[in-house]
Chain A
């Protein structure tokens, strides 16, 4: 044991105050159930329980830059097994949202995809899968976009041929205006979103 870190309670406080479900991490007893339940555990820098103990220790950069927080598939396996009843998924999503809002895009593709997803909802109230993919592929600029689309083109054509793609673009829902003002208000008054 060589590294010398100093415990710093300020990050934990920051998380409790600003991250959706952030205060839930207090209940963690470090059993390791979440780590072993995760389908993508092998690819994570740190399993959830370690993220939680790092928050308690005040390792802000390590936590917000951890790929784990954006790698959640939302499968709820860890959550249903957590013996302390911690909504692990909500915490991970909250942390991801918080990190993204701070401009940290450790898993950029996911961040971009999720943001595009949300923006489309904001725009029309619904998701148009085809439009979403297009936006997602081109989010990094035209060149990568073309490359990515080409990779996926065959699949797109197949789906189109099998009638599994909507041809007409999604129309806005009728109440889109009021929905937007609702969402604006929620973003302003809710946790973790105030800084977006």
Chain B
């Protein structure tokens, strides 16, 4: 199966371990990726400060148009922010003809047009629906043996459209974790926002959100937290020190990408494929113990 992989800006930097692990895992599952030529940033959720809605739509429509021009593959956007920006604009353009005309009149500046034929997908969606847990299970050579994982869904990977999972009580990540023989722990805060794109400017307030999430995960017995979003990963991992300092807690729980766990469970190289060395809070020991290494 061929897809466009729109990895976006973060996956080249803070989310590098996401991209590194995603590629070998997906390739092992028979997926092939193509890059959208000359793609631009999705605008993320904070660009409204500098731009109006139409400009942000155009930003995403350009990527969609570039993709459509090249091939009729689904676009996989592993970053939740990219995913939501792109799927939202895609839906709006598909559903609103006058908006499409308006956007296309702007895209025409570069001879582009978008007809609305592309489907935007989250990586969880593709793994769950196109590949399926049965197929994933077949690739597991080093099962995680009941490792207690808090599958943190966050927000934008499912909301608002809920195309492949419930927006209120998502289960897909947990099912994928189960396929790796991990034991997903239920924790209500798995859908609470970590502060997302405004974490940096609103750090004071958002530290509290992350504390709540970590606390909920840990108190439900999680040994490790998995995510599917570079912002979630960043916010949950990088600020544990500060949270401990501010709230007198003692969090030291590794935050890994779902794809990293998959690479581990697929028996791949912990460094080259699972890219565990990029993690600031080292997950190696826990994972090695789980797979019995």
Are the CB atoms of B159 and A79 closer together than 8 Å?
yes
A-B interface contact total, Cβ < 8 Å: 223
Q: A100-B49, A175-B38 are in contact. Are A77 and B155 (CB under 8 A)?
A: yes
A182→B107 contact, CB < 8 A: yes
Q: Could you say which of B9-17, B69-77, B143-151, B251-259 contacts chain A?
A: B9-17
Q: Is B106 a contact partner of A182 (Cβ separation < 8 A)?
A: yes
- Pick the interface stretch among B124-132, B179-187, B217-225, B272-280: B272-280
Point out the residue from A20, A43, A126 that lies within 8 Å of B9, measured CB to CB.
A126
Contacts of B206 in A (CB 8 A): 40, 73
Q: Which of A55-93 contact B (CB under 8 A)?
A: 70-77, 79-81, 89-90, 93
Is there a chain B Cβ closer than 8 Å to A179's Cβ?
Answer: yes
Binding site secondary structure of chain A? helix
* B residues 188-212 touching A (CB-CB < 8 Å): 191-193, 195-198, 200-202, 205-206, 209
Chain B residues in 8 Å Cβ range of A159: 14, 238, 280
Q: How far is the CA of A70 from the CA of B48 in the complex (A)?
A: 10
Instruction: From A96, A125, A174, A181, name the one whose CB has the most chain B CB atoms within 10 angstroms.
Output: A125
Q: Are A110 and B59 in contact (CB under 8 A)?
A: no
Q: Are A181 and B41 in contact (CB under 8 A)?
A: no
Which residue of chain A has the shortest Cβ distance to B213 in the bound complex? Answer: A39
Q: Decide if A103 is an interface residue (CB 8 Å cutoff).
A: no
B12 touches A166 (CB 8 A): yes
Interface positions, chain A 137-196, Cβ under 8 Å from B, are: 155, 158-159, 162-166, 170, 173-175, 178-179, 181-183, 185-187, 189-193, 196
User: Are the C-beta atoms of B160 and A114 separated by less than 8 Å?
Assistant: no
Contact among A76, A90, A110, A117 for B155, CB-based, below 8 A: A76
B45 touching A74 by the CB < 8 A rule?
yes
Is B46 touching A110 in the complex (CB atoms < 8 A)? yes
Report whether B54 and A80 are in contact in the complex, using a CB–CB cutoff of 8 Å. Answer: no
Q: How far is the CB of B198 from chain A (nearest CB, A)?
A: 5
Cβ A183 vs Cβ B59 within 8 A: yes
**How far does the alpha carbon of A166 sit from the alpha carbon of B197 in the complex, in Å?**
19
Interface size class of B (residues with CB under 8 A): 35 or more
- B35-65 interface (Cβ within 8 A of A): 38-41, 43-55, 57-59, 62
**Which residues of A are interface residues toward B (Cβ below 8 A)?**
20-21, 39-40, 43, 70-77, 79-81, 89-90, 93-94, 96-97, 100, 107, 109-122, 125-130, 133, 136, 155, 158-159, 162-166, 170, 173-175, 178-179, 181-183, 185-187, 189-193, 196
A107-B201, A158-B280 are known; give 19 further A-B pairs, CB within 8 A: A39-B192, A40-B205, A80-B162, A100-B49, A117-B44, A125-B40, A127-B10, A158-B238, A159-B238, A163-B16, A164-B14, A170-B9, A173-B38, A173-B40, A182-B109, A183-B58, A185-B109, A191-B53, A191-B54
Q: Which 6 A-B pairs have the closest CB atoms?
A: A114-B49, A118-B50, A190-B54, A193-B52, A75-B193, A109-B201
